Each structure stands twice: as structure tokens, then as C-alpha cells.
Structure 1
Amino acid sequence: MNKVSAGVALVTGASSGIGYATAAALLQAGYRVYGTSRRTPAAGPAGVAMRTADVRDDASVARLIGDVLAEAGRIDLLVNNAGIGVTGGAEESSVAQAQALFDVNVFGPMRVIRAALPAMRQQGAGRIVNISSILGVIPAPYNAIYAASKHAIEGYSESLDHELRGFGIRVVLIEPAYTSTGFDAHGMTPDQPLAIYDEVRAQAERLMQRGVTAGDAPEIVAQTVLKAARAATPKLRYTAGKMAGRVRLLRRFVPESAFDKSLRKQAGLPA
């Protein structure tokens, strides 16, 4: 596939955090950038055309893609960034809550991709960047629902990349670790909390807060997105930041028993 030159980019969840930084970086790199937010009105980086869209709603996504194509004529780069999390024991989230989280983190990207693909196929070129997480690579105690959604988007993206290469379209995954955003403050809380998990849930929340506070700047993730967008022959997966890179390396080469022991120690769980 030929290198994707600066063209029209669409970034979901661009009003804050990783999405905001990514939209700004793409604009600086010469892309014409559209960003989305569920809230109206939504502020994005200066120069980014913000649109209201809910990735949970088929009609909202169809309007978004239709409006961008009517105005810009094409979509060269799609960055699926919108996402939410939940911290707590897996059994503290009802199936309905898990479905609500998957509706944003998994089915949201699926909706946007399906709506954008006809135009990308007609162009004969395009790049889709899905923001995953290092929790799509490793087990994550007290983040089981969120980690499951990221494992799902990893499998979906890898399969999709094989399907779309013949049309000149590539799919890429970005895997950040802790990132200094408001992600922890805007996540779900378990809808069926159990007292037996109160102490460990609070501990997991503190660990998440410390990680986010000390995490990588969202601009580091944004630069990784830009690297993946510009690559003539992109890799399927890019880790973003030093921690994510170390974790992926350890997961690959450290024996499973040793990795398990280290993970439990880091999470403050008994051996």
C-alpha cells in the first residue's frame, strides 16, 4: 500500500485526553481533521471541525460519516478513540453494564468502521487506527470487563486488517498504558457492588488513580498514532510509552508463572 499522505482524518472522542491530543497532532501534521464528542457544544483543538456523534447509535454514526463525506469528500484516516472503563470485581457488573461498556468500546468502533468503509473502498486507500490498551494484552484484576473489551477490539482489528488489505486499507492498534487524562474520573462504577470487594476495589481504584496521575502525557499516544498513520507499511500493533513497551516485552518473554507472580505483586494481591 502506498503511504497515506496528509488528508482527511476523523477522530472520535476528540474533546479531551488522547482524542484531543491526537486531533491536534494530526492537524499540525497537515491533516484536515474532524473530531467528535457526545456533548453539544463540544470544544476541540483550534482548527478541528467538531461534530456531535454518539458511537452507540447507528443513526448518529451514519449522520456523522455522511456529513464528513459531504463536506470533505473522503476519509483517509479514521481514529477510533472514544471509550469508557469500569473498576471493580467482575461479578459486581451486571451483564447489562458489561453490554453498555462494550457498546462504546467495541461496537462503537465497529459502527464507525462499517459506516466509513464504503468510501474507503471506493478510494482504494485508507487507514483505520483503533485505540486499544496494554490491558488488551495482559490480564487485569478488577478491570475484567474493560480488559475484555480491549481484547475483543484486538481480535477484531487483526482479523479486519487481513480482510481489508486487498482494498488498500490497513488497520492498526495503538496500545497505551497509564495515560495522564481524566479517564479514571469518567469511568463507570459497578452497578451491583458487593461488600466482599469493597477493600480490594478501593485498592484497585487507588492504583488506577496513581497510575493515571503519573502516566504518560496524551501527546505521547498522539505521536504514536501519527507514526502509525504515516507509515508506508504499518505494523499491526504499536505500544505507546515506555511502560506499555516494557509490559508487552515482559508478556512475550517472561515465563507465565513469573509474570503471574509479578502482576499479583504489582496489584497488591496475595501470592
Structure 2
Amino acid sequence: MAQTVLITGSSSGIGRRAAERFLAEGWNVVATLRDPSAWDGIPDGRLLIHALDVRDEASVEAAVAAGVERFGRLDCVVNNAGAGLFAVFEGTPQAVVEDLFETNVYGPMRVIRAALPHFHRQGGGRIVNVTSTSATVPQSLQAVYTATKSALDGFSEAVDHELRTRNVDVKIVVPGFVPSTNFVAQNYTRFAKVQTPPEYASYLQQRIAVFDAEIPAGYVATEVQAAAAVFEAATDTTGRLRFRVGQDAFGAATSRRLPDADYESWRRSTFDTPCPS
């Protein structure tokens, strides 16, 4: 019997590529997204497109139930849906902070809670949570985003210990920067209420220039490569927890393992800029 995976955030990017990869590997796929009409793929008998907003518990439960009803089982959930934010913390209203936590932290928790009863009835399952290299090395102008991804990363590692007693594994996929997702363009303008205090304008432009600079070939991952890491995590049999993708992701992990003094010097030289006189 074919295995079944439910993927959140399947309209584009890593989520869409992951859905395509699982289908190609013979899995049943419940591809979920807030607006099902945004899916423009070719119909497939092993594919169910369903609405799911991770911020809405009823929406999550309905999508999980529909997937189980359609395919008879649920073997894996991929928590890929998420929102980014490239902004100065001082100009970010509390409502925006809370919205990001609703999407990036509480959303995956809702999906996991909805999936666990089905996993337990089957005797096991797999959870794949997509975090970010920002959870490894926090970057400036991503303070709130980093907070959410760090929370998800820590939660994933901790809850894995608990769930393994019920034969449910948790895996963490840690992508670096994936340029085709247009992180800065999509997420700096995401919230109209976010304002940049003029005192930060120069620094903001410097950091945006870093993201806009030409990236050496092969240094960062593509959406397809990130999706391959998701599939690898979903099918892993080695007990491995984290699956990094992109040379920048591995570089961040290496930097984080430096002695404290060396790491402090590196992060200051990488992200700091002199205060205006």
C-alpha cells in the first residue's frame, strides 16, 4: 500500500517541489494550501488538493481528516508552510510578531496534534519540520523570523524524544537561503504596518544589498534540492535528526561550532556596521 504524506504550504516553492517529488516516488500526496485554486498542476489519482490554513485549527483538522478518508492512512506530515519577515524589530508591531508565531510555530504544532491520533492508530509515523539556517546563526533584520524558526527547531528536537516512545520520528530540514523564493522582496513588504525608523535606513539598505548581491554558483540550494532534503528526511532510516541543504547552511553550522570568542568575532564582522556619528 502506497504511503501518504500531507504537505503544508504547497502552492509554490519548496512545498510545491516536495509534493512533486513525493508523487514521483509513488507516494499519495495531500498537498495543502490556503487557496486550493492556486494549484495549477496536472490532476493525479494519488494527489489530493485541500485547503489548509495553519492558523486555523478547524482548517487543519479538516485537511488531515480528508487526507485519511481519501487514502486510508497518513504516514508523514511535512510542516513547510511559513512566513518570513525582513524588518527592523523596533519598527515591528506586536500584532505582526504574534502573526508570525501563529504561522511558523503554533501552526506546525496544530498540524502535529491533528496527525498524532492517526499515527498512533497505525503504530507510528514521521514528522518533517522545515526550519531555517537563521535558527543556526541568527541574522540581523530577521530577529522575529529567527525567533520563530529557533522555537520550531528547539521544539522539534525536544518533542522527538517524547514521540519516539510512540514510534513517531521527528526530522528537521534546515535550508539556507533559497533565492528563487525571493525572501527579501516577499517578506520585507509583507506587513504594511511595519515601518523602518529612519535611524536604521542606512543599515537596512546595506543588508538588502547583501541579499541582492550575486551568489557564487552552487553556494545556495535550489527549491528542488531543498525538496529532495525533505524527501530524504521523510524516508530516513538512520536516526538522523537534521538535514541541512545548501553550502551556506553547512557553513553556518561550521561557524556555530567555533569557540565562543571566535564565533563572536565572526558574527560581529559579518552583521555589524558602525553607528552613525
- Tell me the TM-score normalised to structure 2 length: 0.89
Q: Deviations over 1:18-43 (max 9, x none)?
A: 11111111111111111111124021
Question: Is the contact between residue 11 and residue 80 of structure 1 (CA under 8 Å) also seen in structure 2?
Answer: yes
Question: Greater shift after overlay, 92-101 or 225-234?
Answer: 225-234
Distance 1:24 1:51 in 2: 15
* 1:196-215 equivalence runs, <5 A: 196-210=199-213, 215=220
Name the structure 2 match of 1:186. 186
Determine if the alignment matches structure 1 residue 11 to structure 2 residue 20: no
| Equivalent-residue separation in structure 1 for 2:223 and 2:40 (angstroms) | 14
Q: Please list, as runs of the form range in 1=range in 2, the aligned pairs for 1:106-185 lying within 5 A after superposition.
A: 106-184=105-183, 185=185
CA distance in 1, matches of 2:93, 2:210: 23
Q: 2:36, 2:224 → 1: CA distance?
A: 25
TM-score (norm 1): 0.91
Unpaired segments of 5 or more residues in structure 2? none
Contact preservation (8 Å) 2:30, 2:49:
yes
Q: Which secondary structure does the structure 1 equivalent of 2:38 belong to?
A: coil
| Deviation string, structure 1 residues 176-215 (Cα, Å, up to 9, x no partner) | 1101333423223462431111221222233234488974
Structure 2: how far apart are the matches of 1:34 and 1:54?
14
Given the alignment, which residue of 253, 261, 265 partners 2:265? Answer: 261
Residue 221 of structure 2 corresponds to which residue in structure 1? 216
8 Å contact 2:78–2:130 — kept in the other structure? yes
Q: Which whole-Å CA distance do the structure 2 matches of 1:120 and 1:53 have between them?
A: 19
Name the CA distance, whole Å, in 2 between partners of 1:228 and 1:43: 25
> Is the CA contact (8 Å cut-off) linking 1:77 and 1:128 kept in structure 2?
yes
> How far 1:44 moved relative to its partner?
5.4
Q: Does the 8 Å contact 1:9/1:78 carry over to 2?
A: yes
Q: Matched residues in 2 for 1:53 and 1:8: separation?
A: 17
Aligned residues: 266
Instruction: Note the alpha carbon deviations across 1:137-172, whole angstroms, 9 max, x for none.
Output: 112111000000011001111111011111111001
Q: Equivalents in 2 of 1:106, 1:14: separation in Å? A: 18
Structure number with greater CO (CA < 8 Å, separation at least 6) is 1
CA distance in 1, matches of 2:259, 2:3: 44
Distance 1:45 1:167 in 2: 36
AA at the equivalent of 1:239: R
Alignment CA distance shift 1:209-1:128 (3 Å): farther
Residue 250 of structure 1 and its aligned partner are, at CA, apart by: 2.1
- Alignment correspondent of 2:26: 30
Following superposition, which runs of at least 4 residues in structure 1 exceed 6 angstroms of deviation? 211-214
- Paired with 2:273 and 2:2, the residues of 1 have a C-alpha distance of 47
1:228–1:234 CA contact under 8 A, matched in 2: no
